[in-house]
Amino acid sequence: MAGMQGRILRQDFLGGLAVIGVAALAYWLARKLPASAAGGMGPGALPKGLAVLLGGLGILLLLNAFKSERLARWSVRGPLFVLGALMLFGVTVRPLGLALAGPILIAAAGFASSEVRWRETLVYGLAMTAFCVGLFKFALGLPIPLAPWLLGY
């Protein structure tokens, strides 16, 4: 049983599977596009061709799997909060403006690291957002919403 797990957890085994998966997805998405059209290649030629090529390479990778390194530890906390913070920013920046989206991002991202100290992060988040507002909004004049709920822009 341990031997079996050892096999699956090899880098290239999962890598090969992932690559084949992506190739299959790409081919499926491009399935309706014609590969040839009047005067040469059609819109589907390159996507389908590349998908097939990628799938082939993925199979090669799979064959190589058993000699490759073991998979390193994965963590959930870091990716979850960093990426989550980014998504939150995207959702909040237009309705709530930079004034709120900034601190929200910094607070959410703070959860990603176990080293983070709360009061420090709060103060820092507000200060950094103020700095960014000054830099991006006033110095550079980017049309990023500041606080639509308060100022209207």
Binding positions for other proteins, 37-76, rule CB under 8 A: 37, 39-44, 46-47, 50-51, 53-54, 57-58, 60-61, 64, 68-69, 71-75
Question: Residue 33 Cβ, how far from other proteins at the closest point, in Å?
Answer: 6
For other proteins, give the closer residue by CB, 1 or 108: 108
The residues, ordered by sequence, that sit 6+ positions from 146 with a Cβ below 8 Å of its Cβ are 97, 98, 99, 133, 137, 153
For other proteins, give the closer residue by CB, 8 or 91: 91
- Candidates 96, 99, 100, 105; binder of other proteins (CB under 8 A) is 105
How far is C-alpha 29 from the geometric centre of its chain's CA atoms? 20
Please, are residues 32 and 64 in contact by the beta-carbon 8 Å criterion?
A: no
- Candidates 98, 99, 100, 146; binder of other proteins (CB under 8 A) is 98
Q: Is 143 in the site for other proteins (CB under 8 A)?
A: yes
Question: Residue 109 Cβ, how far from other proteins at the closest point, in Å?
Answer: 5
- Tell me the C-alpha distance between 101 and 46, whole Å: 40
Total interface residues for other proteins by CB under 8 A: 77
Contacts 24+ apart (CB under 8 A), 126-131: 128/102, 129/98, 129/99, 129/102, 129/103
